[in-house]
Chain A
Amino acid sequence: MADNSTFEEGFNNTYTDYSSFNGTFNGTYSNNTNGTFTGAEEKVETIPISFYTPIVYAVILIVSLMIFSRRYKANRIRKLAEQPEIFDEHDAKELYFELQGLSTTEKIHEKVLKAALLNRGAEAIRRTLKLKELAPQIELMYKNGSVGEDYWERFQAETKFVEVEFRETIQEAENLQPGWPKLFATLCQEICFNQALSRRYQSILKRKEVCIEEWDLKINSDGTLTK
């Protein structure tokens, strides 16, 4: 019996320990969940927030985004402006503005200004065509990694500049003669092609001289070879 009682005592003790453990467990569980929640809810202190607070927050957010965007754009434009251009001269455009400047001091025939503007428009078309011709190759080279991000951006910026330049010439044409822009674009295209033809024709003489020099030819005054 003594053994039994010892066993019972031990068992009861153990059981009591277990129940205490169980009690602790349950208590802890309650504290961690419902108990805690109920307790914290009771302690919440409500801070009064103004109705304008979210609006002020939103305004600050939007304004800071706008400032960032403006600075980012300005930075991008500055970087683009600093990049070297693909076409290194703007003679047609400069000559038009120089003539316009001269027209303020002396009387310049209106048709001379028109001619300078047509030349400027033809040059813009020539550049547009050149860039369009180059576009597939440059795109391929960019995809292959043969040209870098800088050159790609330069190329894209140049394409936009040329478009803007042609739009400006059309606007100038409207200022010079209202209703002219309809014909202006067609005329510019014809002039562009004819000027290209003329340049090739004029280069014949120069090329001939180069050939005579390089090939060491002896040419008579009538153009035949000296025997």
Chain B
Amino acid sequence: MASTALRYNPNNKLINDDSDSLTESREISIMQINKLSTAIISESNPNFTPQLNDEHSKMIKSLFESGLAMLKQKKMPEALKNITLAVDMAQRSRAPYEAFGIQLQEIQFMLRHKIDLSLLTGRFLDALQDIEFLMNTGMAQSDVYIRKSDALLKLSQFEQAKICCERGLALHPNEVKLKALYLEINRRLADYNGDI
């Protein structure tokens, strides 16, 4: 136990560990405690409940809606920027004890829009990472598989795209778009291997 390495800053009420042997899990734990401390200190109610903070909700909503407004004006990069900011704010400003169910729905909804915009603006790697996040949080709808296969195809990762498409078809065997994408991936893979 590296008890001597832990430091407490009485000014900002944060803890840190500047030892050389700091492990990744300990670093994550320190970050989590600091985030919790900041959230609890700003909370005046000692018996705080997992309710959502209305102020944060309003700010996130206004940023997201401004992104959608940009999208209607066909200003894709600006729309993407605003929605990205809204997603970041949802992750940074919300207290860790606020209701998880609502936070999850909120972030999934915003990320779906962000993914579409990333794919439209050619940011396939960003889109792929966001899709991975959606899948890690339990989303397994056909459109997630379609977008992931598409992003992998655009990144020329044909084998990965084929695996993803097959997995999507296993879960949604009647999805026409996935079937069409599967044929396209096979054609591109054959082309890449010199079979055509």
Contact = CB atoms under 8 A, between A and B. Distances in A.
Interface of A: 89, 91-92, 94-95, 97-99, 101-102, 106-109, 111-112, 114-116, 118-119, 122-123, 177, 180, 183, 186-187, 189-191, 193-195, 197-201, 204, 207-208, 211-212, 215, 217, 219, 222-225
Contact of A215 (B8, B77, B155): B155
B71 to A, nearest CB: 18
Given A89-B25, A208-B129, A223-B125, A195 B96 contact: yes
30 contacts: A89-B23, A91-B29, A92-B29, A94-B3, A95-B6, A95-B30, A98-B3, A99-B6, A107-B10, A108-B8, A109-B41, A111-B13, A112-B8, A115-B34, A116-B33, A180-B47, A183-B49, A187-B50, A189-B100, A190-B96, A190-B97, A190-B99, A194-B94, A194-B98, A195-B96, A197-B100, A197-B103, A197-B107, A197-B137, A223-B125
Contacts of B48: 183, 187
A91 B23 contact: yes
A106 B128 contact: no
Contacts of B121: 224
Contacts of A92: 29
A135 B37 CA distance: 34
Give the interface size bracket for B toward A. Answer: 35 or more
Interface in B127-142: 128-130, 132-133, 136-137
A204 B33 contact: no
Nearest to B80: A223
For A116, A118, A201, which residue has the most chain B Cβ atoms within 10 angstroms?
A201
Contact of B133 (A91, A183, A201): A201
A183 B122 contact: no
Given A95-B30, A109-B41, A180-B47, A225 B122 contact: yes
A112 B26 contact: no
Given A191-B96, A200-B136, A225 B155 contact: yes
Nearest to B132: A207
Contact of B104 (A95, A197, A215, A225): A197
Nearest to A109: B13
A225 B25 CA distance: 33
A106 B30 contact: no
B137 A200 contact: yes
Contact of A101 (B3, B47, B133): B3
B32 interface: yes
A194 B96 contact: yes
B33 A102 contact: no
B89 interface: no
Contacts of A98: 1, 3, 6
Contact of A211 (B29, B99, B118, B125): B125
B46 interface: yes
B80 to A, nearest CB: 9
Contact of B124 (A109, A191, A225): A225
Nearest to B10: A107
Nearest to B94: A194
Given A102-B6, A191-B97, A197-B103, A111 B41 contact: yes
B95 to A, nearest CB: 8
Contacts of B97: 118, 187, 190-191, 194
A177 B46 CA distance: 9
Contacts of A91: 23, 25-26, 28-29
